[in-house]
Structure 1
């Protein structure tokens, strides 16, 4: 499903996106509810695809490893770095993305 930038869903997701310390998302990570969005994918577009059950887009990103369930390695590295991520909730998922250019 293609959404134009003025769609209500994109505007809603954009308003609900914020930076948050990774350590504050540990509860969601422990529940297996965190999806990591790769740097080459727009976080809001990924969230909209998940919200709209866009299986084609989600599958393509997962195949390219640009969208995946947070791994222990990522979780531990981000915790050690005490980093912040951009996050948006699309229940039951929390989609997160490190800021571009950060390690």
Structure 2
């Protein structure tokens, strides 16, 4: 896909869905250390959030940030995921790595 051309929303969402995968928190450490990891609330759909980032929907992203539904991963959360060897759903929307721990994954 040529990124220079406008993409239909459903095509872009399909692409994002295909690029979403489970990954170990241990593998995300270097991205966390660089400040590039954002935690997405389980109340939100990870693909919808990634789509908003991809299309630069500043209003929606700002709303989620204000409501603390997306945020940088806090050190205590990072430590907990490290100790649990947690696996999270993740997708890269450069420069961000969006991660989400689903309800069924919680201990």
What TM-score results when the alignment is normalised by the length of structure 1? 0.91
Offset at residue 99 of structure 1 (A): 1.6
Query: Which secondary structure does the structure 2 equivalent of 1:41 belong to?
Result: coil
Gaps of 5+ in 1: 1-5
> Which structure has the larger Rg?
2
The corresponding residue for 1:8 is: 11
The corresponding residue for 1:3 is: none
Tell me how many residue pairs correspond in the alignment: 98
The corresponding residue for 1:53 is: 56
Q: Does 1:99 align with 2:77?
A: no
The CA deviation string for residues 5-58 of structure 1, in whole angstroms up to 9 with x for no partner, is: x71110000000000011100000000000100010000000000111111111
What TM-score results when the alignment is normalised by the length of structure 2? 0.87
Offset at residue 74 of structure 1 (A): 1.1
**TM superposition outliers: structure 1 runs of 4+ over 6 Å:** none
Across the aligned residues of Structure 1 and Structure 2, the Cα RMSD in angstroms comes to 1.1
Offset at residue 70 of structure 1 (A): 1.2
User: Where in structure 2 are the equivalents of 1:79-90 lying within 5 Å?
Assistant: 79-90=82-93
Gaps of 5+ in 2: 1-8
The one of 42, 46, 63 aligned to 1:39: 42
The corresponding residue for 2:5 is: none
Q: Which whole-Å CA distance do the structure 2 matches of 1:42 and 1:56 have between them? A: 17
